[in-house]
Amino acid sequence: MTLLVSSHGYWVIALCVGLVAALVVAFLLVVLVRAVASIERSVDGLLTVATEVAGNTANIPQLEATAPVLGLIVQEAVVQDGYMNALTDGYGGDA
């Protein structure tokens, strides 16, 4: 069985195929725009959080200076403990 299609029929088929392709492209563009908007919202949130993190971590380099000071504090605490032990030797013992 032979299918006879006129040139008018070919134009209708071509226009239908073009319409379907245009609808698919339009749908994909809508999906792309929504994805871009979602990414933009996420980036805005990340920028806010990154600014807060930067503020919270700005003083970290200053913390490096505390390690030697802590060592000195421990040494002084040991000395003070020795003084307190010397002062309290013999007190509160046998009654």
Cα separations in angstroms, 30 against 4, 25, 26, 33: 39, 9, 6, 5
Going by pLDDT thresholds of 50, 70 and 90, the confidence category of residue 13 is very high
For 41-51, what is each residue's pLDDT tens digit? 988 888 888 88
Q: How many domains does the chain have?
A: 1
3-state secondary structure of 94: coil
Higher pLDDT, 70 or 29: 29
Q: What is the pLDDT of residues 44-95, one digit of tens each?
A: 888 888 888 888 888 888 887 887 888 888 899 999 988 888 888 866 655 4
Give pTM, 2 decimals: 0.48
Query: The domain containing residue 30 runs over which residues?
Result: 7-86
In a domain, 55, yes or no: yes
In a domain, 52, yes or no: yes
Tell me what pLDDT residue 93 has: 54
Measured CA to CA, the distance from residue 20 to residue 30 in angstroms comes to 15
In a domain, 1, yes or no: no
pLDDT for residue 90: 67
Residue 2, in any domain of the structure: no
